[in-house]
Structure 1
């Protein structure tokens, strides 16, 4: 069963600029507020403010590589998993504002990964053949009950955890994102 994240985390990330700052830092590494603002199409002041809010929550950190006038921000290193569990057990959320924040964040995560996939579709032709063959969406239907569903999710998570740092130090290794989206389908008539 998925544990409901702390309401403060939902509220913190349920802001479009904050979630985009965190995603950009995770994907591209350290950046100044000015670099983030250019990449995200916003202004430096707002970007700097939201980066500091994320830093206070421990989600990003000042790398200390700034020049005195600017900070270089990076996504904080998580112990076991990157980011926040964005699965939503809506029945466990009592407060209407917290529910709205949680649902907004869940939709935002789906939109973010959809944008990544669209980007890959357009960029893949420039990649080596093996990357073109192995990356992309793989859609398979399975038939499971509730217990099997929980076991499936745990097993997929365990496989991904085994590969989390597997390529460290290997020439040519690249970070990839693996999105697990278990979604019930309507019953067939």
Structure 2
């Protein structure tokens, strides 16, 4: 059974640090694939080891990554994500234009990343088994909700996802990314 998820609700300093193309990719990679050295991460992303190490230290300074103590050999430094879930509220940064801009950039970068993952799946879907092709369905829903109802529904979905995450996975289970991104439509777009 999995440990409870570690959450971080980004503060202004953290979001300004994370709003960088390589840094956001580093945190994502460590969360998805586990601990790694700066050298391995640099190879994965085609970057310079020194620059990668610098950006990892910047992330560590604000508590987004940490040393995986005991995992390295000799002077080898192994890094891991310090959390499993990242959240932020743009309105928290209303008095900090740089943090507000960072939140906007990060939101857009994550949306692009989601679209890239979906496109990757679509390009390789023919190579997947019929069971996985049938299981990985795309859905969209349109409903009329108040802000408080949307908050409640999202909370209930989070609880459902947590129940599934904590079950004992079958031997043939694969990692699955599930994105939940409810977007209120403009009034003129609604039926």
Give yes or no for TM over 0.5.
yes
* 1:112-131 paired onto structure 2 within 5 Å: 112-131=113-132
Instruction: Give the number of aligned pairs.
Output: 181
Q: Deviations over 1:35-81 (max 9, x none)?
A: 111211211001111112223333223223223243222223x4xxx
1:167/1:173 contact within 8 Å kept: no
Aligned equivalents of 2:55, 2:167: Cα separation in 1: 33
Alignment partner of 2:38 out of 23, 30, 33: 33
Aligned equivalents of 2:16, 2:105: Cα separation in 1: 10
Question: The residue matched to 1:175 in structure 2 has which SS?
Answer: coil
1:99 aligns with 2:100: yes
Q: Give 1:136 deviation, angstroms.
A: 4.4
Q: Which runs of 4+ in 1 moved over 4 A?
A: none
TM-score, length-scaled by structure 1: 0.84
Alignment partner of 1:75 out of 73, 78, 81: 81
Gap regions ≥5 residues in structure 1: none
Aligned equivalents of 1:149, 1:14: Cα separation in 2: 27
Question: The residue matched to 1:163 in structure 2 has which SS?
Answer: helix
Q: Give 1:5 deviation, angstroms.
A: 3.4
Gap regions ≥5 residues in structure 2: 1-8
2:93/2:99 contact within 8 Å kept: no
Greater RCO between the two (CA within 8 Å, min separation 6)?
2
1:124/1:132 contact within 8 Å kept: yes
Alignment match, 1:179: 179
Aligned equivalents of 2:59, 2:105: Cα separation in 1: 18
Alignment partner of 1:50 out of 47, 55, 62: 55
Q: Give 1:125 deviation, angstroms.
A: 2.3
Aligned equivalents of 1:136, 1:41: Cα separation in 2: 32
- Say if 1:56 and 1:165 are closer, same or farther in 2 by CA, change over 3 A: farther
Alignment match, 1:24: 29
Q: Give 1:141 deviation, angstroms.
A: 0.9
TM-score, length-scaled by structure 2: 0.83
Give the CA RMSD over aligned residues: 2.3
Question: The residue matched to 1:61 in structure 2 has which SS?
Answer: strand
